[in-house]
Structure 1
């Protein structure tokens, strides 16, 4: 990954949350200095529409979506059911939210809602080896 840089200037901040079934996760962000890998110090992680790398606590506290998500995850030790996850995503969605995604790492399933239509959840099963 370090040989690539992604630049969407003047678009929104771009980052990727990557996780595995063992509970490890990181957020990958690209900035002027290159790739930044931010590992979590707890068994959950969230990303909204600002760069986390070098973000001051006041910047994180100004994003109500980030704060609400992190608070709910902390209250539940990062464990939400699929319906609880979508309830939270619906609460923190914006008018222009394109999609919301929940990953069930243990079952290798992906649940997707498009255009804030939370009454219609698309489910995808990944047929991967569990090794």
Structure 2
């Protein structure tokens, strides 16, 4: 295998943090309170052949984020938050992948217990909770 065949042509590592923010969230009220929020549906795919979907479709919103760099990896400056009616919130942070595949184990080790990423996700979740206000 040549060095070129082991290079990463592109991709993204998605880092998810889940938070329980309340017993329930009024998604309609949340949509009114958070500008730029969009309802999302489960995509039709081989894994979702029956066309299953959420009864109350979640909201997705993007929030600006201070840049985070750890070792050679940098998180993009935008977090993606999914808000669910059952009181949960998912915060996704993205790390662009470039370079060679031999760097992937280093990325995996870097992600384990990474306090900066958890702090960033909590900061974003707190900002969204404040936007939601009485919708929670």
Structure that is richer in helix per residue: 2
Q: Give the TM interval when normalised to the shorter protein.
A: under 0.3
Looking at CA atoms only, which structure, 1 or 2, has the larger radius of gyration?
2
Q: Relative contact order (C-alpha < 8 Å, sep 6+): which is higher?
A: 2
TM-score, normalised on structure 1? 0.25
Normalized against structure 2, the TM-score is what? 0.24
Return the structure number with greater strand share: 2
